[in-house]
Amino acid sequence: YLLLSPAGNRLLLGTAQGLRWMAIDGRGGEDIALPGQGHGFLPLWGNGEQEVLVAQHDGKQALYRLYAVDLGNKQNRELGMFAIPNNGPGWIQLSLSPDRQWLMGEAYQAGFYWIHLPTGTLVPIGGNAVGPQDRWLTIGFVGWVPRGEGQ
C-alpha cells in the first residue's frame, strides 16, 4: 500500500512487515505498531496527518476490527468490527465516511458493501456477484463528500 495523507505531507506505506509513515520531503517517518493480534490489514488515513486507521483481520474469527492509531501519542482505539462476507479471504479496499459511521468496502470476490460501524451490519451494494454466471459490477470509489445542512 502507498497512500498520500489528506494534506499531502506524508505517505503511508504498508508492507508485509507492517506499516510506516514517511514525510514527503524525506525528513521524518517511523514504523507504526499494528494494534491487533491478527494477520492481514488494510491501512487508510484518518482525520488529518496524525491519525491512521487500520482494519485488521481478527485472526481467530472471520471478521475485521477497525482501529484508529494516533501517530503523536501512539495510542489506539477500536472503532468497530465487521465480518468478512461468505467467510471469504478478506477486504481489498475500505473508505471511512466523514462521520465515522460507515465504511464503503470491497470484499475479495464477494462484491461491494456499506458497513455500518456501530452495529457491524453489512449492506450489499446492488450488482454483487453471487456465482460465476453473474456479471461483476465494477465501481470506482473515489471518496466521501460532506452533506450540506438539510440535505
pTM of the entire predicted model: 0.77
* Amino acid at site 27: R
Q: What is the pLDDT of residue 116?
A: 92
The pLDDT value recorded for residue 144 is 64
The per-residue pLDDT string of the chain (151 residues; one tens digit each, 9 = 90 and over) reads 788 888 889 999 887 778 888 999 888 889 888 887 767 788 888 878 889 999 988 878 888 889 999 998 989 999 888 988 887 788 888 888 888 888 888 888 888 899 998 899 999 987 544 444 444 444 555 566 666 665 5
Provide the pLDDT for residue 150.
55
pLDDT value of residue 147: 65
Q: What is the pLDDT of residue 58?
A: 84
Name the residue among 100, 82, 101 with its Cα closest to residue 91. 82
The pLDDT of residue 141 is 56
pLDDT of residue 57: 87
Largest distance between two CA atoms of the chain: 52
